[in-house]
Structure 1
Amino acid sequence: MSKFFKGFQYAWQGLNYAFSTQINFRFHAFAAALIALCGFVADLSGAEWLWILLSVSLVIVCELFNTAIEVLVDIVSPGYSREAGIVKDLASAAVLISAIFAFITAIIIFIPKI
């Protein structure tokens, strides 16, 4: 059972690493908090909250995978490598696509409430 609880400690360490070292992760965390506040003010329905939570979670998860991939690529390919750059660009593109999805979702949900 201690290994199970140790896993949560490692997860918190990962979140702490991302928050303390990645400006984009901090930006997305701030945006998530802001959108949650707007959701409470706008009195979102249950279905609307589910879409917001899905969108926010998707962006945060993509940011975490992007950070993990960047760290791994830096370990495996410490010098310049065109292919390593492509890997990093692809991981970054996943974050961009998820952020666009989240932005469009927020527009669809919040514009009618304004």
Structure 2
Amino acid sequence: MDIRKFFKSFIFAFHGIIYVIKSEQNFRFHLLSAVIVVIASTATGLSKYEWIIIIMLICGMFMIELVNASIERVVDLTSPDFHQLALHAKDLAAGACLVYAICCAIVGLIIFVPKWWGIIF
């Protein structure tokens, strides 16, 4: 195992994360949402297991946005002209992000609403 190659792979990964933050509006939206959720989680006083769920949901959203951006780039590279299958591939990847975001919202409501309900009433 070449240790230099190993550490270089981390540098490439960080470059990818910086690139997606700079280039993808949806990723920045999810980043802002994650900050708000972490603040709300801290203020709400979640249990250790609820924190684990929140962290997994946030990281999962980041991962799926990274994969979506990757798919969009590969499709654009391989099909620079309009093609219906290219459109479907990009729409499917975006749809996966939407499904996961809805899942995150539902789980977030399941965790937070009972806690907030007790605070409000």
Q: State the shift of 1:22 in Å.
A: 0.3
Bigger Cα Rg: 2
TM-score between both structures, scaled by the size of structure 1:
0.98
Match of 1:3 in 2: 5
Unaligned runs of 5+ in 2: 117-121
Larger RCO of the pair (alpha carbons < 8 Å, separation 6+): 1
Aligned residues: 114
Three-state SS of the structure 2 residue aligned to 1:78 is: coil
Within 2, Cα distance between the matches of 1:105 and 1:35?
A: 12
TM-score by length of 2: 0.92
Aligned twin of 1:28 = 30
Unaligned runs of 5+ in 1: none
List 4+ stretches of structure 1 deviating above 6 A: none
Compute the displacement of 1:95 (Å).
0.3
Which of these residues, 95, 98, 111, is aligned with residue 97 of structure 2? 95
Report which stretch shifted further, 70-79 or 55-64. Answer: 55-64
Counterpart residue number, 2:19: 17
Sequence identity (%): 38
- The answer for the alignment partner of 2:43 in structure 1 is 41
